[in-house]
Structure 1
Amino acid sequence: MGPGLASTASDNDPSGIAAYSLAGAQFGYDMLWLCVLSYPSMVAFQLIASRIAVLTGKGLTTNMREHYARIYFYLAVARFLIANVFNIAADTVAMGVAASLLWHGSVPVFAALGTAVSIVLQLTVRYPRYASLLKWLTLSLFAYAAVVIVLHVSWQTLVWNSLVPHVRWTDHYFSMLLAIIGTTISPYLLFSQATQQLEELRLDKQHERTAEYHRLLEQQFRKTRKDTLIRTALSNSAGLVIIAAAAATLYAHGHGLENIEDAARVLEPVARGYAAQVLALAFIGTALLALPPLAGSAAHSIASVLRSDDKQLENRRITRALLFVMMLGGTLGVALICAHVEPLRLLYWGAVVNGSTATPVMFMLVLLSTKRSAVGDLSAHWVLRCLCWLATAAAMAALVCLFVLERMR
């Protein structure tokens, strides 16, 4: 109920909830396997990201700057700026829609206020305290599990579809597959987790050859492995029950999912007349928890372009970059609402953009874990690397299949 709940919520922001709901409403139980079979690769990516950060004492963007050609580094920064700003816009729109469901006001005004509140909280409250309060709003995610239980969904159906891939050779299926990849193996979470590891572990690099240094290092790796296994299991379980709940309600009765009101209908078997309010609380809580790592990872990427040994100057640059990213994302979100873009569509495409642009960053991250200039003799275990390569290849294959099927249509 501590970091696990906060991590589950930040991993499944409004974009993730929308993508999972659409997957269940349109494909039934056929995409449950992604939540289960992606688990080993998700764990592997997080462990590699944490390992690189701890061993080098630097964030992932700084490592990419030092160990890759400038063009690849700039591409990674551009990827973060584009995908994260779009995700921030989608999450601010979700907060606006959620606040409108609760208090019946203007969605653009609520979205702008939500952006302002998030900025103030990020600049004035430490994230652990911030998350310890907001995580209780995300208890509403358990309502999806309650729907699966109340509707007596067959456990045989859940197990079979969770373990056996069901592929439909359509462009829409592969677009949805990329959306699920974008909301499960989220690069921004990998980069923010690496930064968090650096904040938690302050080891003196001058004593790295001592036995005490290696003991503390191994202790940190064990703790990271344990936490990652638990957090990722909770996060993927949340995605699985959202897909299953949407399949058991909307897909089973032939109802489509066209807007936020339809998404709220998934929760009606347990929330009855308060389904919209329960979904609104989930949107607000998960959005406020996801915005700091979204904006923070993008801000670190932008600030790393202008490297400085002056810690205070670097912190000021990160702060200014964070403000820029949040304001740009918030402004884009308000503009899209005013242009009458359907919020559910915006949330879905936020996940698709994340999944479509994740492959290069995944590729660079795995290569970085093998570079002796970065991690020395302590490169990541071959099993971790194989799992990461498998996920990277799957994401690339999905992108290629989507491109080919769209051209054939």
Structure 2
Amino acid sequence: MSTQKHSNNENLFRRFLNILGPGLITGAADDDPSGIATYSQTGAQFGYGQLWIAVFTLPLMTAIQEACARIGLVTGKGIVAVVKERYGMKMTVGVVLLVLVANTINIGADIGAMAAAAQLVAPVSFVVATLGFTTIILVLEIFTSYRVYAKILKWLALSLLSYVVTVFIVNEPWLTLLRATFVPHIEFNFAFLFIITGVIGTTISPYMFIWEASEEVEDARERHLLRGGKRPKLGWSDIRRMRLDNFIGMLSSNVVSWCIIVTTATVLHGNGITNIATSADAAKAIEPLVHSFPHAGHVAKVIFAVGVIGLGLLAVPVLSGSASYAVAEAFNWRASLAYKLNRAHGFYGVITIATLVGLLINFVGIDPIKALIVTAVINGVVAVPLIFLVARIADNSEIMGEYKSGRLSNIFLWITFLFVGAAAVGMFATYFTK
């Protein structure tokens, strides 16, 4: 009897793992080293003042990512391909250029942050670490099959747990946290709104829209739902599977961003440290300030640093991959991680170039962190028109058929559009009136 129960539990767990895919990977990639740096700066600079953002953005982030995933799953095409069909090449090129530039800068900052984090846990030079991580990422992304690569990315998503663990190593004022989480605090000044726009830009990012839609196409092809260039043969069970995967991914992402803000607010802001340059700086600063139990500071630093490396290994391929999907879809190139290199030169070429240019940013005198903060803000601004396009496409019965957006989805999509737009407008308004 116990053997049968164990077998049933094992089968249930395997079915659950099979459900997880593009949504989980996208959510985990959202907490990349650059995102960790942004959340860390938020906690260090404003304490618990922006903690409510993690809860408030969850339904918005879930809604926009679900719409993108649904578009990819239903049409069998990526976001850029559908935008091109409906709105023309000029609109498409604008979107692609902005995503390509933002993602490349993001890649550079992430590789640099991973190398700096590696130096906190092992005696390795910055140059060797950056070259090593870049090589590992390119080899895995270009030379492994989609099935194997998707499994690797899913396991790397476990790196998210490192930040949940860190919260419980630090003594937290739980009642204060509860209030800050559910009662919004807003300051109408440029610094506050600039960081909020950056947080939104790294939480609700255009590269995530493109990646999750394209990975749903890849996943549909892998499950033999998509054949011969025709629309995938779907049932509502496929939509429900996608929605569960997407929700788990977005929930995981926002729980981790909440944990990062909490940890840095308690340990750094609480001790007068209000400026963090990188995610590795956050890990390093935590060590001497944690007093929960002997050696807690070192443990927290190592956990924080390992999380930066693991999520960087997951996020850089997502950044370069989404940029490549965007370019390939715009110019009708073959675009799939399932293809061998000799079948998709352009697709893998963009991945390689974006990754190598990102690597070079760390060695040509450009401050990748300053560029990164600006990029996060740009993402927050660029996301506004892209959310508008996604909302229109997802609600178009001509494109989506019976799987077009329902009332609840539409409500949250347009709230997302208004919220992200308001944050961007508020930032610019305070800048010109300060």
- Written as runs of structure 1 = structure 2, the 5 A alignment for 1:193-272 is 193-201=212-220, 202-203=224-225, 216-259=234-277, 260-266=280-286, 268-269=289-290, 271-272=296-297
- Cross-structure match for 1:178: 197
SS for the counterpart of 2:225 is coil
Contact kept, 8 Å, 1:36 with 1:162, in 2: the verdict is: yes
1:153 to 167, 173, 189: 173
1:49–1:310 distance in 2 versus 1, CA, 3 Å = closer
1:38 to 57, 79, 90: 57
Quote the offset at 1:56 in angstroms. Answer: 1.1
- Cross-structure match for 2:101: 82
Quote the offset at 1:309 in angstroms. Answer: 7.8
- Confirm or deny that 1:392 pairs with 2:417: yes
Runs of 4 or more, structure 1, over 6 Å off, are 309-314
Quote the offset at 1:6 in angstroms. Answer: 5.4
- Cross-structure match for 1:92: 111
- Written as runs of structure 1 = structure 2, the 5 A alignment for 1:328-367 is 328-336=357-365, 339=366, 341=367, 345-367=370-392
- Confirm or deny that 1:188 pairs with 2:207: yes
TM-score (norm. length: structure 2): 0.83
CA distance in 2, matches of 1:309, 1:284: 31
1:309–1:324 distance in 2 versus 1, CA, 3 Å = closer
1:180–1:110 distance in 2 versus 1, CA, 3 Å = same
Contact kept, 8 Å, 2:264 with 2:282, in 1: the verdict is: no
**Any gaps of 5 or more consecutive residues in structure 1?**
none
- Cross-structure match for 1:165: 184
- Confirm or deny that 1:307 pairs with 2:332: yes
CA distance in 2, matches of 1:136, 1:231: 11
Listed one character per residue, the Cα deviations across residues 243-285 of structure 1 (whole Å, up to 9, x for unaligned) are: 1111212222222234443543336526423444333211111
- Cross-structure match for 1:142: 164
Listed one character per residue, the Cα deviations across residues 293-318 of structure 1 (whole Å, up to 9, x for unaligned) are: 11111001111232158997873321
2:347 to 318, 322, 341: 318
Quote the offset at 1:94 in angstroms. Answer: 0.7
Quote the offset at 1:180 in angstroms. Answer: 1.1
Quote the offset at 1:5 in angstroms. Answer: 7.2
SS for the counterpart of 2:116 is helix
81-90 or 186-195, which deviates more: 186-195
CA distance in 2, matches of 1:272, 1:219: 47
Quote the offset at 1:333 in angstroms. Answer: 3.1
Q: Which amino acid aligns with 1:55?
A: V
Contact kept, 8 Å, 2:286 with 2:301, in 1: the verdict is: no
Listed one character per residue, the Cα deviations across residues 147-169 of structure 1 (whole Å, up to 9, x for unaligned) are: 4xx414223x2222222221101
- Confirm or deny that 1:279 pairs with 2:304: yes
Quote the offset at 1:175 in angstroms. Answer: 1.1
- Written as runs of structure 1 = structure 2, the 5 A alignment for 1:366-381 is 366-381=391-406
Quote the offset at 1:388 in angstroms. Answer: 1.4
Listed one character per residue, the Cα deviations across residues 39-67 of structure 1 (whole Å, up to 9, x for unaligned) are: 11111112111211122111111111111
61-70 or 305-314, which deviates more: 305-314
CA distance in 1, matches of 2:428, 2:192: 12
Contact kept, 8 Å, 1:52 with 1:60, in 2: the verdict is: yes
Report the number of matched residues. Answer: 398
CA distance in 2, matches of 1:17, 1:196: 24
SS for the counterpart of 2:344 is helix
Contact kept, 8 Å, 1:53 with 1:198, in 2: the verdict is: yes
Quote the offset at 1:380 in angstroms. Answer: 0.8
CA distance in 2, matches of 1:142, 1:378: 36
Contact kept, 8 Å, 2:34 with 2:110, in 1: the verdict is: yes
SS for the counterpart of 2:140 is helix
- Confirm or deny that 1:294 pairs with 2:319: yes
- Written as runs of structure 1 = structure 2, the 5 A alignment for 1:111-150 is 111-125=130-144, 126-147=148-169, 150=170
1:274–1:179 distance in 2 versus 1, CA, 3 Å = same
TM-score (norm. length: structure 1): 0.88
Quote the offset at 1:369 in angstroms. Answer: 1.3
Contact kept, 8 Å, 1:299 with 1:321, in 2: the verdict is: yes
CA distance in 1, matches of 2:139, 2:329: 23
Q: Which amino acid aligns with 1:287?
A: G
1:184–1:397 distance in 2 versus 1, CA, 3 Å = same
1:309–1:279 distance in 2 versus 1, CA, 3 Å = closer
1:81–1:35 distance in 2 versus 1, CA, 3 Å = same
Q: Which amino acid aligns with 2:131?
A: A
CA distance in 1, matches of 2:24, 2:334: 36
Contact kept, 8 Å, 1:93 with 1:334, in 2: the verdict is: no
Listed one character per residue, the Cα deviations across residues 142-198 of structure 1 (whole Å, up to 9, x for unaligned) are: 233214xx414223x222222222110111111111111122112222221112212
**Any gaps of 5 or more consecutive residues in structure 2?**
1-12
